[in-house]
Structure 1
Amino acid sequence: MTIEVTHEQVVVEHRRPQGRRRRWEHRYRIVLLVADGLAAAAAAFLIHAAYGRWAVALMLPPMWIVAMLAHRTYDRSTLGLGAEEYRRVLRGAVALPALAVVVYWLFMHDSDFLHDMTMAAVPVTAIALPVRYTLRRRLHRRWARGRDRSATLLVGPARGVVELVAVLRRGGVQELQVAGVCLSDPENAGETRKLGIPFLGGLGDMNDVVRALGISTVVALPVAASDATALRRMSWTAAVQGVEFLLAPVLSDVSAARLAVRPTNGVPLMRIQAPNLSRTSRLPKELLDRTLAAALLAVLALPMLLVALIVRLDSSGPALFRQQRVGRYGDHFTMLKFRTMRPDSEALRAELEHLNQNSDGLLFKVREDPRITRVGSILRRSSLDELPQLINVVKGHMSLVGPRPPLPEEVEGYTPDIKRRLLVKPGLTGLWQVSGRSDLPWEEAVRLDLGYVDNWSMGLDLSILVRTGSAVVRGTGAY
């Protein structure tokens, strides 16, 4: 396989130096700069109103933008991505007082100015972060409508393409819009066609495809039969065409926070940080889980009593359903839920085995299950049946966020890889819930849980909690 970089292509690149650079990036950066300037001006007004000094009103906006530039909050790698962008904003806010010290010693020599700039770090951050979040949501809505997205060509083996597309689609709306694939194994093109992705040729056709379809991003996957020279030529072709060239890692379910480039003798080696699952690192999660669960129980005590009464009046049997589940390290505990089925539901399970919606794995789920009561159907669609699990969280058996709590018979069928789910506490919500719940194939549910275990962070937990509200409202997969 060869990809030629011709003199004609070089001439084209000189005539069109910007290539197919995304038009929205320039506009978005300008909007962010203006938004940061206005956020800083609003914070400066608050400080001026409190202390009656104008120096901070004049100096805060440019100093804030300098801090944001220094911490690369406008970089292409963070635009529209959220978590990393917010972390850089917070680091810039922490650096703002230090920048004020430099200005103080070099120019101002005014202790009031130093005090005001230090006090301004909190309000400017409190204003800037929600503004950036709003802008990011607006950009995502544009992507969801098919606007400002990047026409993307995937290059590599069919199996790797299928796995990458599954990860991209699982992540929700994003910038990359797959226009087609050029495969290193064209004989397996049927695998990508099943996903609705056009097959556009082999690796040698990449140049023509990029030129013909107006591709703006090329994503190359590892190819067993391809060497470094071939990848280098691909990158040259992408550069000549003025498109972005991305190299997908072999491991697709690794968060960016765990990846780092470690140069060794000129070779850029990729370092993958081990999952951080120590007791010390998870102590803040434990405190947040139990504190928030206890607060929610105090607020929801009366509504939960009302739900329990309605369950008892709707059908015979106890209001609470108790079932043995498996927690962290394989320990068993009794999970609590509001009862949503008839008391003889377990005895009827064998008769409904042929209706199992998850026959590809260990789960048992039946859409329109005849064992579910009238009130139970409402509780399941609204996820209210899971509220008693807050008691399990307070007791320490579960977490607010984590993998789905499995049954003992499910765990007996786990392979060694799947048992990694048991390294953390099961959760009241998790990636499985915000990604489709019972509608997910077994293999995808396992992938989500293992990805959560390997990539856990407090930021990931908070993002899942935020997404849980909309998932409950949609009710997708809740049956």
Structure 2
Amino acid sequence: MTIEVTHEHLVVERRSPRVRRRRWEQRYRLVLLVADGSAAAVAAFVIHAAYGRWAVALVLPPTWIVAMLAHRSYDRSTLGLGTEEYRRVLRGAVALPALAAGAYYLFTHDSGLFHDMIMATVPAVAIALSGRYLLRRRMHRRWARGRDRSATLLVGPSHGIVELVTVLRRGGAQELQVAGVCLSDPENATEIRKLGLPLLGGVDDMADVFRALGISTVAVLPAPEFDASVLRRMSWIAAVQEVDFLLAPVLTDVSASRLAVRPTNGIPLVGIQAPNLSRISRVPKELLDRSLAAVLLVFLALPMLLIALIVRLDSSGPALFRQQRVGRYGDHFTMLKFRTMRQDSETLRAELAHLNQNSDGLLFKVKEDPRITRVGSFLRRSSLDELPQLINAVRGTMSLVGPRPPLPEEVDEYTPDIKRRLLVKPGLTGLWQVSGRSDLPWDEAVRLDLGYVDNWSMGLDLSILLRTGSVVVRRTGAY
């Protein structure tokens, strides 16, 4: 395979999509700078209102911007990513007291200014994160409308491209907009046509496609014929035409926070940090789960009693449904839900096997299930039937966020890989629930749960909790 880099590859159209995208990126960074400076200024005035000192209003905004720059919170790679962007802001905020302490001991010796800088950190973080969240939502809305997206060319084998496109389309609004495909195995073009994507030739046509379509990003997927020399020439072609060059890893479903480049004798090796599932690392999660679940139970006690009464009046049987489920490390526990089915529902399950919506896996889900009561249908679609699981969270048998709690007979059919789901507690919500719930095929549900186990963090839990509200309101996959 030969890829030549010639003088004509240096010609870049001035009004190409990649030029417009870079202008948009510059504007977005400028807006972020203004938002961060404003957040620091507002925090400084809050402290001034409390203590009556003006010095912090002059010192905090530039210091805050320097901290954000030092922790690369304006990098191109973090724009719109959410968790990683927020993590860098928090790191910069942690550094702010250290900067204030250094300035106090080396220069100012003003204990009042030192105190005010420390006190201003919390409101500055709260306002800055809120501002970035709103800007990120606005950016995603623009992406959803097809604006400011990066025209992307996919290069590689058909099977890898099919998998990548499936994930991109399932993930909602995102920056990459697939403009076409260059295949390393053109004989398998049928799979690409099924996706409705333009087939733009082979790998040797990549440079011509850059110029013809104004491509701003190329994503290269692993292929046996892509050795180091071929990939190097691809990156050269992308560089001279100012096209971002992305190399998709062989191992997917790994969060960016677990990846690190480790140069060894000039070779950039990608290190993957092992999942941190120790008991000590999960203490903050345990505290959050039990305390938040207890608070929610207090506030929801009366509505839950009302729901229980309605369930009892609607049909014969208890208000709560108790079922054995499998928790962390394979331990069994009794999961609680509001009863949504007739009492003889289990005896009727065999008669409804042919209606199973998840016949590709171990789950049993039936749309318009005749076993569901009138009130039960509403409770399921609104997810109110899950509220008693807050009791499980307080007891410590479940978490607020985690994989779906499986049945013992499902676990009996698990392969060794799928059993990794049992390394963490099951949750009331999780990646599976906020990504489609019962509408997802079994393989996809397993992939999401395993991805959660490997990439768990407090930031991921908080992002899932924030997404849960909108999913419940939309009733996505609830039946």
TM-score normalised by the shorter chain: which range applies? Answer: over 0.9
1:67 aligned partner, one-letter code:
A
**Rounded Cα–Cα distance in structure 2 between residues aligned with 1:17 and 1:101:** 48
1:176 aligned partner, one-letter code:
L
Go from structure 1 to structure 2 and tell me whether the alpha carbon gap of 1:198 and 1:394 turns closer, same or farther (over 3 Å shift).
same
CA contact (8 A) 2:17 2:216 kept: no
Deviation, 1:6, is 0.5
Equivalent runs, 1:344-355 vs 2, <5 Å: 344-355=344-355
CA contact (8 A) 1:254 1:454 kept: yes
CA contact (8 A) 1:401 1:464 kept: yes
Go from structure 1 to structure 2 and tell me whether the alpha carbon gap of 1:201 and 1:324 turns closer, same or farther (over 3 Å shift).
same
**Rounded Cα–Cα distance in structure 2 between residues aligned with 1:345 and 1:126:** 49
SS at match of 2:416: coil
**Rounded Cα–Cα distance in structure 1 between residues aligned with 2:295 and 2:100:** 40
Equivalent runs, 1:101-116 vs 2, <5 Å: 101-104=101-104, 108-116=108-116
Equivalent runs, 1:102-141 vs 2, <5 Å: 102-104=102-104, 108-141=108-141
Worse overlay, 370-379 or 104-113: 104-113
Deviations 1:205-242 (A, max 9, x none): 11111211111110111111221111111111111211
Aligned to 1:90: 90
Aligned to 1:187: 187
**Rounded Cα–Cα distance in structure 2 between residues aligned with 1:282 and 1:31:** 36
CA contact (8 A) 2:70 2:92 kept: yes
Aligned to 1:246: 246
In the alignment, structure 1 residue 441 sits paired with structure 2 residue 423:
no
Go from structure 1 to structure 2 and tell me whether the alpha carbon gap of 1:40 and 1:425 turns closer, same or farther (over 3 Å shift).
same
Go from structure 1 to structure 2 and tell me whether the alpha carbon gap of 1:103 and 1:365 turns closer, same or farther (over 3 Å shift).
same
**Rounded Cα–Cα distance in structure 1 between residues aligned with 2:458 and 2:101:** 32
In the alignment, structure 1 residue 65 sits paired with structure 2 residue 57:
no
1:307 aligned partner, one-letter code:
I
Go from structure 1 to structure 2 and tell me whether the alpha carbon gap of 1:107 and 1:394 turns closer, same or farther (over 3 Å shift).
closer
CA contact (8 A) 1:164 1:252 kept: no
**Rounded Cα–Cα distance in structure 2 between residues aligned with 1:337 and 1:51:** 51
Go from structure 1 to structure 2 and tell me whether the alpha carbon gap of 1:242 and 1:291 turns closer, same or farther (over 3 Å shift).
same
SS at match of 1:279: coil
Deviation, 1:423, is 1.2
SS at match of 1:44: helix
Deviation, 1:15, is 8.3
**Rounded Cα–Cα distance in structure 1 between residues aligned with 2:301 and 2:254:** 40
Aligned to 1:424: 424
Go from structure 1 to structure 2 and tell me whether the alpha carbon gap of 1:149 and 1:16 turns closer, same or farther (over 3 Å shift).
closer
Go from structure 1 to structure 2 and tell me whether the alpha carbon gap of 1:284 and 1:35 turns closer, same or farther (over 3 Å shift).
same
Number of equivalenced pairs: 478
Equivalent runs, 1:142-181 vs 2, <5 Å: 142-181=142-181
Question: Which runs of 5 or more structure 2 residues have no equivalent in the other structure?
Answer: none
Aligned to 2:209: 209
**Rounded Cα–Cα distance in structure 2 between residues aligned with 1:297 and 1:49:** 37
Deviation, 1:375, is 0.5
**Rounded Cα–Cα distance in structure 1 between residues aligned with 2:297 and 2:456:** 26
In the alignment, structure 1 residue 370 sits paired with structure 2 residue 370:
yes
Aligned to 1:225: 225
Equivalent runs, 1:381-460 vs 2, <5 Å: 381-460=381-460
**Rounded Cα–Cα distance in structure 1 between residues aligned with 2:471 and 2:188:** 36
**Rounded Cα–Cα distance in structure 2 between residues aligned with 1:470 and 1:295:** 21
SS at match of 1:362: coil
**Rounded Cα–Cα distance in structure 2 between residues aligned with 1:173 and 1:218:** 19
Deviations 1:348-377 (A, max 9, x none): 111111111111111111111111111010
Go from structure 1 to structure 2 and tell me whether the alpha carbon gap of 1:45 and 1:250 turns closer, same or farther (over 3 Å shift).
same
In the alignment, structure 1 residue 200 sits paired with structure 2 residue 200:
yes
Go from structure 1 to structure 2 and tell me whether the alpha carbon gap of 1:349 and 1:70 turns closer, same or farther (over 3 Å shift).
same
Aligned to 1:301: 301
SS at match of 1:77: helix
Deviation, 1:174, is 1.1
Aligned to 1:49: 49
Go from structure 1 to structure 2 and tell me whether the alpha carbon gap of 1:112 and 1:275 turns closer, same or farther (over 3 Å shift).
same
In the alignment, structure 1 residue 334 sits paired with structure 2 residue 329:
no
Deviations 1:393-443 (A, max 9, x none): 222221111111111121121111111111111111111110000000111
Worse overlay, 201-210 or 102-111: 102-111
**Rounded Cα–Cα distance in structure 2 between residues aligned with 1:386 and 1:131:** 33
Worse overlay, 87-96 or 420-429: 87-96
Deviation, 1:17, is 12
Deviation, 1:462, is 0.9
CA RMSD after TM alignment: 1.9
**Rounded Cα–Cα distance in structure 2 between residues aligned with 1:168 and 1:82:** 17
Deviation, 1:389, is 1.1
**Rounded Cα–Cα distance in structure 1 between residues aligned with 2:18 and 2:168:** 25
1:442 aligned partner, one-letter code:
W
CA contact (8 A) 1:22 1:150 kept: no
**Rounded Cα–Cα distance in structure 2 between residues aligned with 1:374 and 1:15:** 62
Go from structure 1 to structure 2 and tell me whether the alpha carbon gap of 1:290 and 1:103 turns closer, same or farther (over 3 Å shift).
closer
After TM superposition, the score normalised by the length of structure 2 is: 0.96
Deviation, 1:103, is 4.1
CA contact (8 A) 1:182 1:202 kept: yes
Worse overlay, 95-104 or 31-40: 95-104
**Rounded Cα–Cα distance in structure 1 between residues aligned with 2:59 and 2:322:** 61
CA contact (8 A) 1:336 1:392 kept: yes
SS at match of 2:337: strand
After TM superposition, the score normalised by the length of structure 1 is: 0.96
Equivalent runs, 1:306-317 vs 2, <5 Å: 306-317=306-317
Aligned to 1:277: 277
Go from structure 1 to structure 2 and tell me whether the alpha carbon gap of 1:360 and 1:17 turns closer, same or farther (over 3 Å shift).
closer
**Rounded Cα–Cα distance in structure 2 between residues aligned with 1:148 and 1:17:** 12
Deviation, 1:19, is 6.0
**Rounded Cα–Cα distance in structure 2 between residues aligned with 1:14 and 1:350:** 64
Worse overlay, 348-357 or 433-442: 348-357
Deviation, 1:192, is 2.7
Deviation, 1:119, is 2.3
Deviations 1:171-214 (A, max 9, x none): 33211111121111122222233333222221111111121111
Aligned to 2:286: 286
Deviation, 1:115, is 2.6
**Rounded Cα–Cα distance in structure 2 between residues aligned with 1:99 and 1:269:** 34
2:194 aligned partner, one-letter code:
K
Go from structure 1 to structure 2 and tell me whether the alpha carbon gap of 1:54 and 1:230 turns closer, same or farther (over 3 Å shift).
same
Deviation, 1:167, is 2.7
Deviation, 1:337, is 1.0
SS at match of 1:152: strand
**Rounded Cα–Cα distance in structure 2 between residues aligned with 1:124 and 1:58:** 14
CA contact (8 A) 2:9 2:207 kept: no
SS at match of 1:303: helix
Worse overlay, 218-227 or 186-195: 186-195
